[in-house]
Amino acid sequence: MHLVFENLVKNLVHLWTGTFKKMDHHDQPYVLRPTVWNAIGAASAASGSTIPSSFRSRPQNVAEEKYAMTAETWVFWFSYLGPILLEGQFLNNKLVELINLCIQFDIPQNDIHCIREGFQTWVVNYESLYYQNTPNWLPTCPTTVHTLLHIADGIEQMGPMWVYWAFPMEQYCLKLSRAITSRRFPWSNLSNRVTATAQLTEIGQRYGCLQEISFKKRLQDDNYDKEYVLVWPRKEQPKLGPGLVTKLISALSTRYSKKAKGIPMKTMRSLCSMKNVVSWGWLRRLGCGDLMHAADTTTSTAPDRRDATFICYQALADRNIQLRDKRSEFDLKMYFGQLKGIYMVQVPPSKDLGLKTLDTVVFAEVAMCKDVTAHSSLNIHYYRKLGGTEIVDIMTIQCLVGQILWKGRWAIINRSGTLAQALVADDLSDYE
């Protein structure tokens, strides 16, 4: 799989730009116009500002900096940016679909069958389009094209590809290369780095002090509900506009509607003082989750800043909301938006609310992506502008997403795939 991105994908790009092995690609149907490819390259480079740094390093201009792209950068570009920027240029994204199946964490037996047959069909189509049964075009069929036919066999024999591919070793070698400070004794530098790293890891594991001996700066945080961590900056009694206060009170009324038995908004406002509100700047989801930034706390204006404010969240939507005579029927739907603020509200004990002890609730203010549509078999979502803001429980927030502007609309880059989704109780009374 490593050579697929290091060789096959790179060769495809050379074919699309008419620069493959200095062959005559004039009037070939697969060659893109230089203006189109330059626009694709510029959009790739510009997407770095709207794709979080946790996704990967800043994307390069694929039209001008192909020489600087590694297998890792090709993975991200081909899996996420390519299907968006090349939409409409080719008949389908079959190769991307097959590669996404190959790099899944778990691969069911049915998917292995799809991978085998899919690559067989793709190779036949590839030879028809690029090789064209012409001996002079034989260089378009390197060994890596044939290797695709054996990927399914490798998965059956050795398991998912992430178990044995070369990316972890490349990253480890990159870390070691930074230890070389002497041209005369490079091997001593490497040996000392490996030894010191192993010793620190052993100490941290044995005495449970990995965070204490880490050289990384630790952010001040506060755990919430064992699934999320609220991260500084923290501000008590923030200045909230009247509209935001009304939305927070409405969200609290909805949350305690069962226990409060239809308590009016006015009473809820008197019970819940906004002086008990604390705002936070970042939100981290535990279990290898993302670190999400609240846009309203952003102070950086650096030109190389990476946007980490757009999120994916899930909420219950009433399918009969426009039919007043029908009973409400709720479906769990996926939404996208920009995280504007994170607010912790402390609700004091109250007989009216059925609370015997202090209750802490954390809400997120989210500017919703308006009129989101999904296209293509890769389930890529698009929107044109942001709509109004709403208040949601942070327990509904799933992950961080990126975005790229192309042809007047924003394409959402969601790398969560089949990760954990929000859990919904069968009986809505469980939300009391």
pLDDT digits (tens, 9 = 90+) for 237-275: 899 999 999 999 989 888 887 665 667 777 788 877 888
| β-bridge partners, 283 | 230, 292
Q: What is the pLDDT of residue 415?
A: 85
The pLDDT of residue 167: 85
Q: What's the per-residue H, E or C state across 189-247?
A: HHHHHHHHHHHHHHHHHHHCCCCCCCCCCCCCEEEECCCEEEEEEEEECCCCCHHHHHH
Q: Treating both helix axes as pointing N-terminal to C-terminal, what angle do 167-177 and 186-207 enclose, rounded to 10 degrees?
A: 110
Q: List CB contacts of 209: < 8 A, sequence separation 6 or more.
A: 203
**Cβ-contact 311, 246 below 8 angstroms:** no
Amino acid at 409: R
- Tokens coding 263: 């308590």
Which residues are 347's β-sheet partners? 359
Which pair of structure tokens corresponds to residue 197? Answer: 């790293």
CA nearest to 28, candidates 128, 109, 116: 128
The whole-angstrom separation of Cα 127 and Cα 137 is: 10
pLDDT, tens digit, 9 for 90 and up, residues 119-160: 999 999 999 999 999 999 999 999 999 999 999 999 999 999
Q: Give the separation between CA 361 and CA 355, rounded to whole angstroms.
A: 13
Q: How confident is the model at residue 402 (pLDDT cuts 50, 70, 90)?
A: very high
- Here the contacts of 94-101 (C-beta below 8 Å, separation 24 or greater) are 94/118, 94/121, 94/122, 95/122, 96/378, 97/377, 97/378, 98/122, 99/1, 99/4, 100/378
Residue 386 pLDDT: 96
* Tokens describing residue 106: 């778990």
Better-scored residue on pLDDT, 218 or 407: 407
Indicate the average pLDDT of the chain. 87
Per-residue confidence at 426, pLDDT binned at 50, 70, 90?
Answer: very low
Choice between 303 and 116, residue whose per-residue pLDDT is larger: 116
Query: Would you place residue 340 in the very low, low, confident or very high pLDDT band (cuts 50, 70, 90)?
Result: very high
The pLDDT confidence band at residue 429, using thresholds 50, 70 and 90, is: very low
Give the model's pLDDT for residue 170.
83
Pairing outcome for strands 228-236 and 221-224:
antiparallel
- 0.85 surpassed by pTM: yes
* Contact indicator for 251, 391 with CB cutoff of 8 Å: yes
Look up tokens 């989801």; give the residue.
Answer: 285
pLDDT digits (tens, 9 = 90+) for 90-125: 767 899 999 989 988 889 999 999 999 999 999 999
Residue 39 has pLDDT above 70, yes or no: yes
Quote the percentage of the chain above a pLDDT of 90. 56
HSE-CB at 155 with a 13 A cutoff on CA atoms is 27
Could you tell me if 290 and 307 are in contact, meaning their C-beta atoms sit under 8 angstroms apart? no
283 near 339, Cβ under 8 Å? Answer: yes
Q: How confident is the model at residue 3 (pLDDT cuts 50, 70, 90)?
A: confident
Question: Which pLDDT score is estimated for 392?
Answer: 95
3-state secondary structure (DSSP) of residue 165: coil
| The pLDDT value given to residue 72 | 85
- Answer with the residue of higher pLDDT: 304 or 76: 76
